Amino acid sequence: MRHGQGRARRAGAALAAVLTWAGLLAGAAGCTSNPADRSDIGEAFGKAPAPEDVIRISPDDRSKGVRPGRPLQVRVAGGRLESVKVVKSQDAQDSEVPGRVSEDGLRWEPDESRLALAAKYTVDAVALDGHGRRSARHTTFTTFVPDERFIGYVTPENRSTVGTGMIVSLEFNREIEHRAAVERAVHVTARPAVEIRPHWFGKDRLDFRPERYWKPGTQVTVSLRLRDVEGAPGVYGLQYKTFSFTVGRSQVSLVDAAAHTMQVRRDGALLATVPITAGAPKHTTYNGKMVVMEMLELTRMNGATVGFRKENGKGEYDIPDVPHALRLTDSGTFLHGNYWAPNAPGHVNVSHGCVGLMDVKGGSSDTPAGWFFDRSLVGDVIQVVHSNDKKVAPDNGLGGWNMSWKAWRAGSAAK
């Protein structure tokens, strides 16, 4: 399955319990096991309204150039909102937007009366409909950037602690014609020092990484000196900002799609081996190194959003409460928990391309998926081998580790 939302952490389960899971094998299948293979799917989800029909969010998902006078609102027609979190990303810094749910539970509005310019907003909402059924929505939109200006949206977050595979990535709001000038205005440094090189993907994305994964404990600083730099004829940068992040412990997990296992290694030592299910023969999982981009405790996954449609146009699957979801690619590859194909992990690959771990409805720390989620960081590396598929593209998510150092360095515009 390939779509997601939300972010949260919970206390971990005892490792001794984890080591017994391979024998239980009573849990998750790949992100997209075919609903036709499950007799209970219609009963479970057939009559439930789509999350977008339960939770109405304005501005619309993926809107661009939203004017500051547009209202930001989350509402439900019936039932009640359980939680709403809105994060504003501006000048490489994230801040939560304060707001409140109305007394009747039907709407949420921000305390701020106007949207910020040149910002990205992320909205995560969970609600119960009038029948007590829980729905979750994850939407984003970007606001208006004044004419003749460009900005870069930066990954990872300022002051975050990340895994050793994190790649610094800037996505620009418009195409950059003068790439060398813009590249020279972005400085990425590390302590202890290590060589860091840039690589352009097209004209609107600039990534930075070292030759090998970061060493644990490294402090990385990103300085944007883009203000008044001409990125295209008559188009000048807006940002003059510095932010930093810290590299945490090393965790690299190896998914063997043929053996249906995942080995989790912490600082080089084997922490656990857990059963998994990967992509079915018709929907195989990418091979290669993928980096955790975001972590969503609960998210909806709908096949229609990533091209898996039935003849009637509806998605081949639509599961509103997928637990413990870690996004691995822009195209929608996740590693996540599932509860709808209990006999798949460790035995058979049944998903539409994701990696599934055993879980229960609602999620639990006492499952392989919950245990792994609680021990993961954005920036951790998941490597897939022995899948009957191609290697993931280096610009699909933070996939730059799949390029040789020579090829990566060749992607610089400032020769």
Digit-coded pLDDT (tens) for 94-121: 899 999 999 999 999 999 888 988 899 9
What pLDDT score was predicted for residue 5? Answer: 39
Domains and CATH numbers, the chain: 15-44+250-400 (2.40.440.10), 51-143 (2.60.40.3780), 149-248 (2.60.40.3710)
Q: Which residues of the chain have pLDDT under 70?
A: 1-47, 303-317
Distance CA(105)–CA(334), nearest Å, equals: 32
What pLDDT score was predicted for residue 301? Answer: 86
3-state secondary structure (DSSP) of residue 41: helix
Distance CA(325)–CA(150), nearest Å, equals: 32
What pLDDT score was predicted for residue 187? Answer: 98
Stretch (H or E) spanning 15? helix 15-18
Q: Is 354 labeled as catalytic in the residue annotation?
A: yes
If you ran DSSP here, which 8-state letter would residue 193 be given?
-
3-state secondary structure (DSSP) of residue 5: coil
What pLDDT score was predicted for residue 39? Answer: 37
Tokens of 97: 């937007």
What pLDDT score was predicted for residue 315? Answer: 58
What pLDDT score was predicted for residue 319? Answer: 86
Q: Which residues lie across from 89 on neighbouring strands?
A: 94, 120
Distance CA(367)–CA(38), nearest Å, equals: 21
Residue type at 170? L
HSE-up of residue 96 (Cα within 13 Å, Cβ side): 7
Q: What angle do CA 113, 116, 119 make, to 5 degrees?
A: 145
Q: Which residues lie across from 232 on neighbouring strands?
A: 235
Tokens of 334: 């996740």
Other beta carbons within 10 Å of 62: 9
Q: Is 31 labeled as catalytic in the residue annotation?
A: no
**Among residues 7, 367, 283, which one has the least CA distance to residue 357?**
367
What pLDDT score was predicted for residue 316? Answer: 66
Q: Give whole-number Cα distances, 7 to 87, 118, 293, 348, in Å.
A: 11, 23, 11, 29
Q: Give whole-number Cα distances, 229 to 20, 147, 182, 196, in Å.
A: 57, 15, 7, 22
Distance CA(25)–CA(356), nearest Å, equals: 12
Which distant-in-sequence residues (6+ apart) come within 8 Å of 312 by Cβ? none
**Among residues 251, 255, 196, which one has the least CA distance to residue 222?**
196
Question: Which one is catalytic: 31, 336, 347, 386?
Answer: 336
Question: Which one is catalytic: 3, 138, 260, 354?
Answer: 354
What pLDDT score was predicted for residue 246? Answer: 98
What does 209-240 look like in DSSP terms, one character per residue?
EESSPPPTT-EEEEEEE-BT-EEETTEEE--E
Q: Enter the pTM of the model.
A: 0.71
